[in-house]
Structure 1
Amino acid sequence: MVRLYDKDTGAFIGEINDQQLQQLMDALEEESSIDRDYYINHAQLEFFEEQGLDQTLISLLRAALGSREGMEIVWGIS
């Protein structure tokens, strides 16, 4: 499983599977091949829905984002 965290606070967001991680990696820009963090905002989550990304993944990210404008998430393998 892949664990997601709020990069700023270190708070655990939740676990996703490899397929969900791949969808996230495909949908977001990576700064390098070893990049493990991503910036998300509400507009991106709406775009994810339009593109048919996994709804559980989107719900998890939406809950983590809450009312903030945006946030950075970081992932690691558990």
Structure 2
Amino acid sequence: MPKLYNATTGAELGEITDEQLEFLQDQLEEESAEDQDYYINQETLEYFAEQGADRALIDLLQAALAGRAEIDIRWD
């Protein structure tokens, strides 16, 4: 299963499903074929909810924000 990490600190945020990863890849811009990091903020999470994102994915990303305005995440 893919895992999400805080791109700045390297701290593991949690595991996601292949379907959740596919959703992230479909919704967010990748700068190259090897790009595995994304910028997330509250507006991003609201957009995800509008697009029908899995609630568990939104909850995981909300927890990753932990009161911050934004976070860069990466997957592996």
The TM-score by the shorter chain falls in which range? Answer: over 0.9
Structure 2 residue 57 is the aligned partner of structure 1 residue 57: yes
Alignment-derived partner of residue 6 in structure 2: 6
Runs of 4+ in 1 over 2 A off after TM superposition: none
Mapped to 2, the partners of 1:18 and 1:35 lie a distance apart of 17
How is 1:1-78 mapped onto 2 (pairs within 5 angstroms)? Answer: 1-76=1-76
TM-score normalised per structure 2 = 0.97
CA-based RMSD: 0.6
Could you tell me how far 1:22 is from its partner in structure 2?
0.2
Higher strand share: 1
Mapped to 2, the partners of 1:34 and 1:54 lie a distance apart of 24
Structure 1 residue runs without a partner (length 5+): none
Mapped to 2, the partners of 1:9 and 1:47 lie a distance apart of 25
Mapped to 2, the partners of 1:35 and 1:55 lie a distance apart of 24
TM-score normalised per structure 1 = 0.94
Quote the sequence identity (%). Answer: 55
Q: Deviations over 1:6-62 (max 9, x none)?
A: 011111100001110000111111001111000000000001001101110010000
- The count of corresponding residues between Structure 1 and Structure 2 is 76
